[in-house]
């Protein structure tokens, strides 16, 4: 039996995921493979590196730091998330990331990125994060407020554009018990965006424009599929039990902690049912 873990993105809504994953680490919930999207990948790496509390710690510490994330970084660097500070200063100097443990632990870890030429998702396995940090950065490079990340001649943006909740990909990869961590409450549906914006920003990338403008359709279809699979006991879903009004680029420490604590509480409430799901060797 192979256990998979799918982590939705959502910028600072990902603090919910951080709370869930910290409980998983404390309770010894282990998986065989992980697919993270955007913030799901950015925060999910701390599960594979076995660093509970790290996501909360550095987000609280640097939330209001102008070097971290926000309009000043966007104006100065072209990226709302500061590349040097977030992907170098923090993990290598200010709140050390455990690269060795990340590499040694057994889970296979994939980050979803969107190829801007094709508009299609790519699922990049991250083994040594020293060598693949740019793919992690690409996975969380939100459209309109981030520069494209160029790697080996290809350009990428946020994986959520093309595959926000890659449950079907995880099934295709052979995982038969799948835990899905969402960052929106039940019954959420994504609304259609103004199509003109993407056409203005990315007129040289028509397939990217199409992917952005049809994202809401794919996302809502993914939610319908998740509900069906959950009802059939083929996947186990943890989602926010209530709505927290948190901004994508949230700087309020109380809101960040509230979202994190909600993730912890929902994970604890789900533990018995989750363990039962994982211990049942019958594949639905």
Q: Give the number of other CB atoms < 10 A from CB of residue 95.
A: 16
The confidence score (pLDDT) of residue 284 equals 47
Question: What is the distance between the alpha carbons of residues 21 and 7, in angstroms, rounded to a whole number?
Answer: 10
The confidence score (pLDDT) of residue 176 equals 93
The confidence score (pLDDT) of residue 282 equals 58
The confidence score (pLDDT) of residue 280 equals 85
Are 246 and 261 within 8 A, CB to CB?
no
Question: What is the distance between the alpha carbons of residues 156 and 25, in angstroms, rounded to a whole number?
Answer: 31
The residues near 180 (Cβ < 8 Å, ≥ 6 apart) are 5, 6, 8, 165, 167, 226, 230, 235, 236, 237, 238
- H or E, element range at 258: helix 253-279
Question: Which pTM does this prediction carry?
Answer: 0.96
Which parts of the chain sit beneath pLDDT 70? 282-284
């Amino acid at each position: 039996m192979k256990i998979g873990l799918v982590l939705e993105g959502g910028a600072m809504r990902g603090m919910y995921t951080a709370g869930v994953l910290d409980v998983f680490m404390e309770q010894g919930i282990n998986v065989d493979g992980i697919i993270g999207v955007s913030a799901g990948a950015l925060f999910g790496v701390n599960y594979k590196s076995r660093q509970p509390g790290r996501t909360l710690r550095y987000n609280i510490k640097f939330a209001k730091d102008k070097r971290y994330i926000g309009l000043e970084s966007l104006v100065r660097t072209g990226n709302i998330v500061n590349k040097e500070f977030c992907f170098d200063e923090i993990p290598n100097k200010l709140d050390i990331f455990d690269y060795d443990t990340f590499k040694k632990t057994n889970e296979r870890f994939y980050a979803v990125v969107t190829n801007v030429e094709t508009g299609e998702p790519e699922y990049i396995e991250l083994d040594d994060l020293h060598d693949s940090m740019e793919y992690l950065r690409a996975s969380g490079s939100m459209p309109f407020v981030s520069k494209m990340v160029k790697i080996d001649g290809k350009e990428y943006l946020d994986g959520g554009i093309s595959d926000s909740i890659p449950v079907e990909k995880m099934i295709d990869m052979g995982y038969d018990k799948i835990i899905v961590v969402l960052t929106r409450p039940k019954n959420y549906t994504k609304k259609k965006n103004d199509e003109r914006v993407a056409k203005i920003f990315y007129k040289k990338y028509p397939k990217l424009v199409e992917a952005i403008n049809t994202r809401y359709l794919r996302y809502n279809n993914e939610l319908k599929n998740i509900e069906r699979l959950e009802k059939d006991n083929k996947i186990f879903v943890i989602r926010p039990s209530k709505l927290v009004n948190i901004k994508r680029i949230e700087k309020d420490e109380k809101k960040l902690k509230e979202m994190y604590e909600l993730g912890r509480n929902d994970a604890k409430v789900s533990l018995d049912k989750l363990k039962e799901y994982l211990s049942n060797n019958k594949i639905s």
